[in-house]
Amino acid sequence: MKAGSNLEKMFAAGHFAVTGELGPPRGADAGHIHEKAKYLKGIVESVNVTDNQTAVVRMASMAVCRLLLDMGIEPNLQMVCRDRNRLAIQADLLGASALGIKNVLCLSGDHQKFGDHPQAKNVFDIDSIQLIAVLKKMRDEGKLINDHECEGIPQYFIGAAVNPFADPFDFRVTRLKKKIDAGVDFLQTQCIYNMEKFRTYMQQAYDQGLTEKCYIMAGITPLKSVGMARYMQKFVPGLDVPEDYITRLKGVDKKKQGDEGIKIAIEQIQEMKEMKGIAGAHVMAIEWEEKVEEIVSGAGLLPRPEVS
Amino acid sequence: MVVAERKPIEEILEMIGDFNKVLLTGCKGCVTVCNAGGEKEVGILASALKIARKKEGREIEIDEITLERQCDPEYIDQLEESIAKNNYDAVLSMACSVGPQYIAKRYEDVLVFPMLNTSFIGGALEHGVWAEFCQACGTCGIHKFGALCPIARCAKSLLNGPCGGSSGGKCEISPETDCVWHLIYERMSRLGQLDKLGNVVMFKDWTTSRDGGPRKIVREDLKQ
């Protein structure tokens, strides 16, 4: 065991793991966290807590992770390189470990141009792949970047994200391999809609033996409506929403589009369960946490197995 | 070269407030090449300011001079005659921001204003279009990236890109911005060196960049 988190144990036991996601509020209201998180408790192994997602200021990921721990929910601390240099990153990582946070997801971070403080100076002292290496060095060697020995060695289960749908497509599996080389333990993918392209990507990863070297979780985001699908198709860079899903949503009454989106998500997870090299699903129900149970249950993944 | 562009006329008019007489200085270096602050641009700005002030009913006297370079004390001396003879309210510099600082250093009691926004180290893409190519990090390693700079040209300065926002060869920040990592990938692919991009590039040492504090080069062989 690297860190002995619930998520790591689930993978180690060979179960198809499920994670969720929670976006902290744009304010200091802890009640908001309790409200959203209650829908995820017992439904997923652990919950990603986003870090100033889309470069919009929100309650600190680390603080929300601790609030989740207090609720008996295991968090995955998301950490972006946009807002911190290597001093702040390592300090935060040590603090996270001291607070009982075991799973960390290493990300570059969306450019601040998209966020609510586009005038900000960005950092990007290190990138997401180097961040993986920082965590690995702290955990496995007990040392900081500068080789200073940590007093008290942190234990992390190291995660990162991959986007199979960004360009250039042929380089995407190489980038996945670089994350493995840097020391990643588990990966969560960008929201998957183009299943055909995803199968090609996974086949390449499988053929190169990469799926044996880390746990890959398929990213699933249920489509709420035709409007949301179109928005993601047109305006979210690196997202690939094929027209047939939109046609399918259009085919039902407007009030039923959400239900159809959930059906699609369930079918996707069921297909992922059979796909070689997929170790779990990462369900990102954006501002729709109350539907996660229905999705996970629909995919035949409830109740969650007990691991110790 | 250093690429710059002129500040908006409104901002300049506000800077010069109610001055009656100013010296407008151009530079024959980079800013002449990028059509921002050479002799021609000095003439254009002087005319524009005079017209604007005339309209306001308070004319302004503007002397024009364009120096060989403003980033060299030897050429700043060329201002001596004009400044000594005239009682200017201020000197306006159309060089990159090095120019006004050199003038300020040479003339401690003279007000100095920048007329340009110094934008980046770059070059022309076509007539009238310039782009950034270098961030002066102080330790060039572009040979590892097909001779293309990810620090200056990737919005996130990634050393292990491209990130998940690369789409159709363009950067997520704008459809007008090339994803340099896409270009690096294509070039390394053409050169048969794609395998080199498979290695994790570790942490960059930023001490030679601005992060190490203001920089200075001392060449003992040239010092007198």
Of B165, B198, B206, the CB nearest to A237: B165
- Per CB-CB distance under 8 Å, the chain A contacts of B198 are 174, 177-178
Contact yes or no for A108 and B200 at CB 8 A: no
pLDDT score for A308:
82
**Amino acid (one-letter) located at A236:** V
Assess whether the previous peptide bond of B162 is cis (omega < 30° from 0). Answer: yes
B31-47: average pLDDT: 98
Contact yes or no for B158 and A82 at CB 8 A: no
**How far is the C-alpha of A277 from the C-alpha of A272, rounded, in Å?**
9
Residue A37 is encoded by which pair of tokens? Answer: 């998180």
Residue with tokens 């179109």: A230
3-state secondary structure B140-179: CCHHHHCCCCHHHHCCCCCCCCCCCCCECCEECCEEEEEC
Q: Is B172 in the A-facing interface, judged by CB distances under 8 Å?
A: yes
pLDDT score for A301:
98
- Per CB-CB distance under 8 Å, the chain B contacts of A82 are 156
ipTM score over 0.85, yes or no = yes
Contacts of B87 (CB under 8 A, 6+ apart): B21
Tens digit of pLDDT for each residue in B95-146? 999 999 999 999 999 999 999 999 999 999 999 999 999 999 999 999 999 9
Q: Is B167 in the A-facing interface, judged by CB distances under 8 Å?
A: yes
Share of chain B above pLDDT 70, in %: 100
Q: Is B165 in the A-facing interface, judged by CB distances under 8 Å?
A: yes
- Per CB-CB distance under 8 Å, the chain A contacts of B173 are 111, 113-114
pLDDT tens for chain A, 308 residues long, are 999 999 999 999 999 999 999 999 999 999 999 999 999 999 999 999 999 999 999 999 999 999 999 999 999 999 999 999 999 999 999 999 999 999 999 999 999 998 999 999 999 999 999 999 999 999 999 999 999 999 999 999 999 999 999 999 999 999 999 999 999 999 999 999 999 999 999 999 999 999 999 999 999 999 999 999 999 999 887 789 999 999 999 999 999 999 999 999 999 999 999 999 999 999 999 889 999 999 999 999 999 999 98
Residue B156 is encoded by which pair of tokens? Answer: 């996130």
Q: Give the homologous superfamily in CATH for domain B2-119.
A: Response regulator (3.40.50.2300)
Q: Is A177 in the B-facing interface, judged by CB distances under 8 Å?
A: yes
- Per CB-CB distance under 8 Å, the chain B contacts of A124 are 156-158
**How far is the C-alpha of B98 from the C-alpha of B115, rounded, in Å?**
12
How would you classify residue A100: left for phi > 0, otherwise alpha for psi between -120 and 50, otherwise beta? left
**How far is the C-alpha of A10 from the C-alpha of A301, rounded, in Å?**
13
CB half-sphere exposure, B108, CA atoms < 13 A: 0
**Can you list the domains of chain A with their CATH numbers?**
6-298 (3.20.20.220)
Residue among A61, A65, A16, A12 at smallest CA distance from A302: A16
Instruction: Return the biggest CA–CA distance within chain B.
Output: 69
How would you classify residue B100: left for phi > 0, otherwise alpha for psi between -120 and 50, otherwise beta? alpha
Alpha-carbon torsion, ordered A296, A298, A300, A303, to 10 deg: 50
Compute φ and ψ for A56, nearest 5 degrees.
-110, 130
Residue B8 exposed, middle or buried by CB count within 10 Å (0-12, 13-18, 19+): exposed
- The ranges assigned to domains in chain B are 2-119, 136-210
pLDDT score for A236:
82
pLDDT score for A286:
82
**How far is the C-alpha of B14 from the C-alpha of A109, rounded, in Å?**
39
Tens digit of pLDDT for each residue in B175-184? 999 999 999 9
Rg (CA), chain A: 19
Tens digit of pLDDT for each residue in B132-175? 999 999 999 999 999 999 999 999 999 999 999 999 999 999 99
Question: Using 50, 70 and 90 to split pLDDT, how confident is the model at B20?
Answer: very high
pTM of the model: 0.96
- Contact (Cβ atoms closer than 8 angstroms) between residue A156 and residue A140: no
Sign of CA dihedral A52, A53, A59, A61: negative
Q: Is B200 in the A-facing interface, judged by CB distances under 8 Å?
A: yes
Instruction: Return the biggest CA–CA distance within chain A.
Output: 61
